[in-house]
Amino acid sequence: MTTNEHTTLVLGGTGRIGRRVARKLTERGVNVRIGSRTAEIPFDWEDSSTWAGAFVGVKSAFLMYYPEVEWPGAGDDVGAVARLAVDAGVERLVLLSARNQEEAMRCEDAVTSLPVEWTIIAPASFNQNFDEGVFLEPLRQGVLALPFGDNSDPFVDAEDIADVAVAALTENHHVGERYELTGPRLWTFAEAVAEIARVTGQKMHYEPISPKEFADAVVNEGAPREFADTLATCLSEFFDGRNSSLADGVERALGRKPRDFADFVAEVAPTGVWKPA
């Protein structure tokens, strides 16, 4: 595949990972189509009538499932979309999966079983959850309360994930590879929050809570109970210790070491994003 002879669809193209993938592809001269609810050619995971049309004229695609590949039923949706993509003439699919999750493996099987060039990317939790995602507001308020206990995770940077995705979409030697992406070392959430507090000088700490307490807090913020309970279960399983190990996916794919969480904090802290709300 060359970079200027085909269109690449980036699902979730306005989100943390997708927008980085889209930007890096554009910088390489790739014709990018953003897959989102508000795009000129819309794509909405919750509206199957939008699925097929988004792939018309597309030769490669980055598949990112909403809300998460660990979500119940994700495998069915990803499988349906991947088949529509192949039927539309898509030649290469790069799936953003997850580590050691049963539903994510169903998503992977749905893609790898098709007659298409594929690459699987299975990252750890993102560094950017702390400055762009759901952890940001609690950190600004001084307490990050999550149902993760004292388990550690090898946080990986969104830029590294996007770099691997772009390589897989534009270079042939990644076809048929499954890359587990992690940072270079393990961090507990208490250690991660303490690092942000140390660098910023802000008072904040991590507080482990039960899944029920977490779900109740999500409901109190306005979410439906079913969504909150499912989210609490998915998150608790992802951070139950099964992913407390390092992987070499970034180095295998890119030939360099992944970015460390401490370097991420040092770069982001001067922006003031973690100042108290």
Q: Is the model's pTM score more than 0.85?
A: yes
The structural domain count of the chain equals 1
DSSP code, position 171:
-
232 phi and psi angles, rounded to 5 deg? -60, -40
Confidence of residue 42 (pLDDT cuts 50, 70, 90): very high
> What are the pLDDT digits (tens) for 158-180?
999 999 999 999 999 999 999 99
Has residue 137 been placed in a domain?
no
pLDDT at 10 over 50: yes
pLDDT at 271 over 50: yes
* pLDDT given at position 2: 42
Per the prediction, the chain carries an average pLDDT of 94
Domain that includes residue 15, residue range: 7-127+156-184+243-259
Has residue 94 been placed in a domain?
yes
* pLDDT given at position 182: 98
Q: Which residue has the tokens 């048929």?
A: 176
Mean pLDDT computed over 81-97: 98
Has residue 171 been placed in a domain?
yes
DSSP code, position 260:
P
Question: 271 to each of 13, 20, 73, 83, how far by Cα in Å?
Answer: 24, 19, 39, 43
Distance of CA 70 to the CA centre of its chain: 11
CATH number of domain containing 160: 3.40.50.720
Has residue 119 been placed in a domain?
yes
Mean pLDDT computed over 54-65: 97
- The tokens of 249 are what? 């996916």
Has residue 269 been placed in a domain?
no
* pLDDT given at position 5: 62
From CA 239, how far away is CA 211, in angstroms rounded?
Answer: 11
Has residue 141 been placed in a domain?
no
* pLDDT given at position 221: 83
Residues 6 or more apart whose Cβ sits within 8 Å of residue 153: 124, 125, 186, 187, 188, 189, 239, 243, 244
DSSP code, position 157:
-
Percent of the chain with pLDDT over 90: 83
pLDDT at 4 over 80: no
Has residue 35 been placed in a domain?
yes
Question: 204 to each of 163, 198, 230, 241, 249, how far by Cα in Å?
Answer: 32, 9, 27, 24, 32
Mean pLDDT computed over 14-19: 94
Has residue 16 been placed in a domain?
yes
> What are the pLDDT digits (tens) for 211-254?
899 898 888 888 889 888 988 888 888 888 899 999 999 999 99
Mean pLDDT computed over 197-206: 97
Q: Tell me, what amino acid is at 83?
A: R
